[in-house]
Amino acid sequence: MIVAKNLSKRFGRIFAVNNVNFCINKGEVVCLLGPNGAGKTTLMRLLTGYLEADEGNCTVFGHDVKTDRTSALQKIGYVPENCPLYPEMTVYEFIKFAADLWKIPYREFVNNFKELAAYLHLTEVVNQRIETLSKGFKRRVGIAGALIHRPKILILDEPTEGLDPNQKLEIRNLIREYGKTGIVIISTHIMEEVEAISTRVLLLNKGKLIRDTLPRELKKISIDNDMASAFRKITSEEF
Amino acid sequence: MNKQFASVYFKEFKSYFRTQTAYFIMAVYMIISMIGTFYSGYFFFLNNSDFVSFFSFQPQILAILIPAVTMRLWADERKSGTLEYILTQPVNYAILVLGKYCAAVSFCLILLTFTFPLWIYTNFLTTVDNMNVFSGYMGCFLTAAAFCAFGCVISAFCSNAVIAYLIAVLVSWGFMATNFNFIISFVAEVSRLPMSGEGQSFNYMAHFQNFISGQIGIDNIIYFAGLIALTLWFNVFVIEYKRS
């Protein structure tokens, strides 16, 4: 369970995240939705402890991200925006590196690795350097690195950005599958994605959480029952 | 060994050899060291029982080359975005800093061991005080370790490796050349505090000279160990500060 209480983060005078409150439970696939600069990435960075909140706090299964950082992060698998990886490493080396940071015993790593490599279709590229891989493969390697310790929470920042339709479908299937047993939080501004995979939508604008709703409820806001129209309507109202 | 430390250490250490950086630094170090030893150090004209021709130029050479070893440690992580990845793993920042630092220091140790053939060669030419040479090497190693610590901190401040390199050269060179005696006397004069000679214990060169003259004192070890520990602690602080 992730709980955010009065979470705020300022950059200078601008509130990137402004007094955000929510609670996410097991079995939810939550989409952080919002226009560019709404605070989605900042919110994810606050949840993963990369940024420190100016006010409020965030707990992950009871562990405060600020005061009990390592215990909280044990539960999270995070793939940042643009999926940063070490290009000089091979796929195996990167995933082994991630596993070692999580202190996973070797046997468990081998089992998880085999399973993940097969599931994410990485078997044929395990010994290939990351810099030689396509964008889709790189994204999958990043996800494999985040999933190697079987986290309870998976946080993905724009996971399908720049992928072709087949790759998008694969990633969405994975998210849907993972969301059945754990918590998945993704950020996106692709409406089709929100409809396809999310069970809940957190709509952000100018750092504020303006809607915490179900995808079907969000659609109802527009006359033509369309997610994109609803999004435009809400965010333009806020402007 | 701590698994997390080992993974960070080996990742960094291997990354030197994955690119041409390591080989280039090694080649440059060997060329400059040999020029310094044989030409500027008058290797064949001096009695090199204490290997002085080699050691006397090492601080200057290391001040130029060590920043090239450390410049990309944090700066590249920041530039490529992997800093966000690594800082969101359940790893203590001190382990990350130590892993990276130890990888850089290990590389410096390899650099120094490449000059051992010269030591062996000198043993054939003349009678060498090997304990003295060992002490000199220890001084060089601790100098390299201190410059690595400086380089790590500066790299943590920068997102551009070239800028990190230039600042680290300036800081290392400045640290090496600063006469703290002068500073302390000046402070004593202005503040009228009874201080005299305290600056000597801060002077890098005074400690290094002790090493190359074969006098390893506990104060010399404490000086370098303290300097390195303080700088690395500051590195952890910088990572924490830059993150938040």
Q: pLDDT value at position B5?
A: 93
Q: pLDDT value at position A237?
A: 65
pLDDT in tens, A102-146: 999 999 999 999 988 888 888 899 999 999 998 888 988 999 999
A85 interfacial to chain B (CB closer than 8 Å): yes
What distance in Å separates residue A139's CA from the closest CA in chain B? 13
Q: Is the pLDDT reported for residue A228 higher than 80? A: no
The per-residue pLDDT of chain B, averaged, comes to 87
- B97-124 burial: b if 16+ Cβ within 10 Å, else e: bbbbbbbbbebbeebbeebeebbeebee
Distance of alpha carbon B159 from alpha carbon B79, whole angstroms: 5
The answer to whether the CB atoms of B85 and A84 lie below 8 A apart is yes
The per-residue pLDDT of chain A, averaged, comes to 87
Select from A50, A52, A129, A161 the residue whose CB has the most chain B CBs within 10 Å, as the one to mutate to test that interface.
Answer: A50
Q: Is the pLDDT reported for residue A238 higher than 60? A: no
Q: Is the pLDDT reported for residue A166 higher than 70? A: yes
Distance of alpha carbon A30 from alpha carbon B71, whole angstroms: 40
Q: Could you tell me the sign of the dihedral formed by the alpha carbons of A2, A7, A10, A15, in that order?
A: positive
Distance of alpha carbon A46 from alpha carbon A66, whole angstroms: 9
Q: pLDDT value at position A234?
A: 76
B244 interfacial to chain A (CB closer than 8 Å): yes
The answer to whether the CB atoms of A100 and B80 lie below 8 A apart is no
Contacts of A28 (CB under 8 A, 6+ apart): A179, A183, A184, A199, A200
Distance of alpha carbon A85 from alpha carbon A42, whole angstroms: 20
Distance of alpha carbon A228 from alpha carbon B174, whole angstroms: 60
A9 interfacial to chain B (CB closer than 8 Å): no
Q: pLDDT value at position B194?
A: 67
Residue by residue, DSSP assigns B51-119 as -HHHHTTHHHHHHHHHHHHHTHHHHHHHHHTHHHHHHTSS--HHHHHHHHHHHHHHHHHHHHHTTHHHH
Rg for chain A, CA atoms, rounded: 18
Q: Is the pLDDT reported for residue A59 higher than 70? A: yes
Q: pLDDT value at position A161?
A: 79
Q: pLDDT value at position B165?
A: 94
What distance in Å separates residue B87's CA from the closest CA in chain A? 6
pLDDT in tens, B103-153: 999 999 999 999 988 888 888 887 888 888 899 999 999 999 999 999 999
Least confident of A74-88, A109-123, A169-183, B196-210: B196-210
Are the CB atoms for B66 and B108 separated by under 8 Å?
yes
B18 interfacial to chain A (CB closer than 8 Å): yes
pLDDT in tens, B6-52: 999 999 999 998 888 889 999 999 999 999 888 887 777 777 777 88
B84 interfacial to chain A (CB closer than 8 Å): yes
Distance of alpha carbon B67 from alpha carbon B141, whole angstroms: 15
Q: Which of B7, B19, B84 sits opposite A97 (nearest CB)?
A: B7
All residues of chain A having their beta carbon less than 8 Å from the beta carbon of residue B81 are 80-82, 84
Sorted by where each starts, the structural domains of chain A and their CATH numbers stand as 2-75+152-238 (3.40.50.300), 84-150 (no CATH)
Distance of alpha carbon A224 from alpha carbon B215, whole angstroms: 86
Q: Is the pLDDT reported for residue B1 higher than 70? A: no
Position B10, amino acid: F
Q: What is the pTM (predicted TM-score) of this model?
A: 0.89
Distance of alpha carbon B89 from alpha carbon A80, whole angstroms: 12
B196-203, Cβ contacts within 8 angstroms, sequence gap of 24 or more: B203/B178, B203/B179
Q: Which helix (H) or strand (E) covers residue A55, if one does?
A: strand A55-60
Helix then strand then coil, % of chain A, to nearest 5: 40, 25, 30
What distance in Å separates residue B219's CA from the closest CA in chain A? 37
Strands A76-79 and A153-157: parallel
What distance in Å separates residue B239's CA from the closest CA in chain A? 11
Q: Which of A48, A97, A103 sits opposite B88 (nearest CB)?
A: A48
Segment B187-194 mean pLDDT:
72
Are the CB atoms for B47 and B34 separated by under 8 Å?
no
As for the ipTM of the complex, it is 0.89
Instruction: Give start and end residues of each alpha helix (H) in A182-238.
Output: 191-197, 215-220, 227-238
A130 interfacial to chain B (CB closer than 8 Å): no
